[in-house]
């Protein structure tokens, strides 16, 4: 894995190390004069990230499995996924009444959609979670977090009065893909 961290320098500027070219096994820390921001980039051996995770120490830290912001690289396509329910694709009915099982089924349902668009779960940059009952938030967070690497997408969670098919959760996603 390759991690690139850019922070505001205390006084002097140091350029990026040439060791950063080894994107698969090295960890590089560098300083920049780009302002008081921290940019984190993670690339797996055969998976190039099409976006950067943005985190500012001057804003409140993320308190769950989400990132403060995502910056998409130039020349990247955006994939807007409609809201997904925990529906079994074979029966067309809710997979279960359990919130954790519905959340897991949503991710099983979104994988083939993202694949058809040339993307993947690792390329999701934003998620909007709709919950019928906010008391399910902690259980949803736990299951949701299992689907993302150390750098999850930006996210919003909203309580709603009702959802289609009387589902307990719905999630819509925005992902990126190579053009």
> Hey, which residues are catalytic here?
157
| The Cα angle at residue 41 between residues 40 and 44, in degrees rounded to 5 | 140
Task: For strands 124-131 and 76-84, give the pairing.
Answer: unpaired
Are 40 and 151 in contact by the 8 Å Cβ rule? The answer is yes
32 within 8 A of 10, measured Cβ to Cβ? no
Three-state secondary structure call for residue 134: helix
CB 125 within 8 A of CB 154: yes
């Amino acid at each position: 894995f390759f991690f690139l961290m850019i922070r505001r320098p205390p006084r002097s500027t140091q350029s990026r190390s040439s060791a950063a070219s080894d994107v698969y096994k090295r960890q590089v820390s560098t300083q920049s004069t780009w302002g008081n921001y921290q940019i984190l980039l993670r690339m797996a051996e055969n998976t190039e990230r099409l976006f950067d995770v943005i985190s500012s120490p001057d804003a409140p830290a993320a308190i769950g499995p989400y990132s403060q912001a995502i910056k998409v690289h130039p020349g990247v396509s955006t994939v807007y996924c409609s809201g997904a329910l925990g529906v079994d694709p074979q029966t067309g009915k809710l997979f279960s009444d359990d919130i954790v099982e519905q959340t897991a089924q949503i991710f099983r349902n979104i994988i083939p959609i993202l694949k058809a668009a040339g993307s993947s779960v690792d390329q999701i940059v934003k998620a909007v979670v709709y919950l019928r009952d906010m008391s399910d938030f902690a259980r949803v967070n736990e299951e949701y977090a299992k689907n993302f690497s150390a750098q999850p997408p930006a996210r919003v969670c909203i309580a709603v009065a009702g959802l289609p098919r009387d589902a307990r959760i719905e999630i819509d996603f925005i992902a990126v893909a190579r053009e």
